[in-house]
Amino acid sequence: MGRLSKATHSMSLLDKTTLRILFTILVTATLLAIIWLARKPLLAFLFAMLFAYLLEPLITALQKYLRMSRGFAITTVYVGLLAALLTVGAAIGPRILEEAQHLLETAPELYNRVATGNIAWQVGQAHGWSRETQARLQQFIVDHRDEVLAAIRTQTAKIAPLAGNVLWLLLIPILAIFFLKEKSRFAHNIESLLENRRDRRLLSDIMSDLDEMLSHFVRAQVYVAAISGAAYLTALSLMHVPYALVLGTLGGLLEFIPFVGPLVAGTLILALSFGLNYGHLLMVLLFLLIWRGLEDYVISPRILGGRVEVHPLVTIFGVLAGGEIAGVAGIYFAVPVMASVRILWNHWQRHSGKHEPEPESAKEIAGPC
């Protein structure tokens, strides 16, 4: 009888444990499904938050030095940003639009030249290749025409849905206003959910580190994109590459997408230069390789510093995985997500006592390495 009651008790505990596990799985699956279904507004909110991080230093400076109210400082920054965009747009916008329009008009002709393989003769004559070389290149293009045209159509099809997301892009600066106004109150409300003082301190430390990392990441992305755009525009213009303004501007904008963006920009610049019979492809290739090395190993590490401590190999894996999961947005958010996971893991280790910080006295005794 006693054994039977023990077995019944064990079965009831097992049932409760199983039910809890199943309930947790169900809640997690439901949450993931909701996130997937609401991915567009969620992404808009995430980009609005990053946009708010970009403007936060300017707003804080106006509040500190000019003693403005936060609302008036936000308004001033938005008006100044709009004025700057209009000024730059009026200065170089017409030329970029003119080049872009001409490039779009040339695209069908270039497409036909690739489809028929005639581009091999045009490029070969421009570079002084023999007729045999031109014929072999034409045959190679014709043999792989279906793959090349399929790749072009696939990339073109990916651009089309972007037009449908213009409304969400316009909402980003509007939503950022709410993040800028309610940032401190939002953080305080989250901390107030915890009653334990130690847990509140842990949450406060995590939010502080995340805030610092995200703020530094967003500003670094803008700095790198601006520097890269200026380098592309200057070099391509000096080398008289066709559509230098469009390609340079696009190259700077694609720097916002880690790893994949610069690769796409370089491939596009080389492909268009080749297709438009530009005579100094080797110079363009040399510039792209040198600039990639300077940016990856000199400029980006100095700008990012140690705030976003993610190993390059882990970054490549995260970017590729993010692209498979969520497309362009997954590629962009891969680095800050991995950096956030690292911050959470470090704080959890310290909180659980598995990784106690080294005492200052021990550091002084050890001295410099």
Residue 354 lies in a domain: no
Query: Rounded to an integer, what distance in angstroms lies between the CA atom of residue 359 and that of residue 265?
Result: 48
The pLDDT value recorded for residue 156 is 56
The pLDDT value recorded for residue 151 is 65
Residue 160 lies in a domain: no
Residue 171 lies in a domain: yes
Q: Which residue has the tokens 């438009």?
A: 276
Query: Rounded to an integer, what distance in angstroms lies between the CA atom of residue 339 and that of residue 30?
Result: 26
Residue 297 lies in a domain: no
The pLDDT value recorded for residue 14 is 54
pLDDT digits (tens), the chain, 369 positions? 555 455 555 555 556 677 777 777 887 788 777 777 777 778 788 888 888 888 888 888 888 888 888 889 999 999 998 898 888 878 777 877 787 777 777 767 776 766 666 676 766 666 667 777 777 777 777 776 677 667 666 655 555 555 556 677 778 888 888 888 877 777 777 777 777 777 778 888 888 888 888 888 888 888 888 999 999 999 999 998 888 888 888 888 888 877 777 888 888 888 888 777 777 888 999 999 999 888 877 787 777 665 566 666 777 777 778 777 777 677 778 888 888 888 888 888 887 765 444 444 434 433 433
pTM of the predicted protein model? 0.68
Please enumerate, as own/partner, the contacts of 183-186 that have beta carbons within 8 Å and a separation of 24 or more: 183/52, 183/56
Number of domains making up the chain? 1
Residue 337 lies in a domain: no
DSSP string of 297-341, one letter each residue: IIIHHHHHTTSS---HHHHHHHHHHHHHHHHHHHHHHHHHHHHHH
Query: Rounded to an integer, what distance in angstroms lies between the CA atom of residue 40 and that of residue 37?
Result: 8
Residue 6 lies in a domain: no
Residue 307 lies in a domain: no
The pLDDT value recorded for residue 307 is 59
**Positive/negative CA dihedral, 53, 58, 64, 70:** negative
Instruction: State the burial class of residue 110 (Cβ atoms within 10 Å of its Cβ: 0-12, 13-18, 19+).
Output: middle
Query: Rounded to an integer, what distance in angstroms lies between the CA atom of residue 120 and that of residue 140?
Result: 9
Query: Rounded to an integer, what distance in angstroms lies between the CA atom of residue 297 and that of residue 185?
Result: 40
Element (H, E) at 233: helix 197-238
The pLDDT value recorded for residue 186 is 76
What is residue 129's three-state secondary structure?
coil
CB 333 within 8 A of CB 310: no
Query: Rounded to an integer, what distance in angstroms lies between the CA atom of residue 145 and that of residue 142?
Result: 5
Query: Rounded to an integer, what distance in angstroms lies between the CA atom of residue 280 and that of residue 196?
Result: 67
What is residue 80's three-state secondary structure?
helix
The pLDDT value recorded for residue 83 is 92
- Domain range holding 68? 40-155+165-193
Query: Rounded to an integer, what distance in angstroms lies between the CA atom of residue 222 and that of residue 80?
Result: 17
Residue 77 lies in a domain: yes
- Tokens (6 digits) for 365: 């005794």
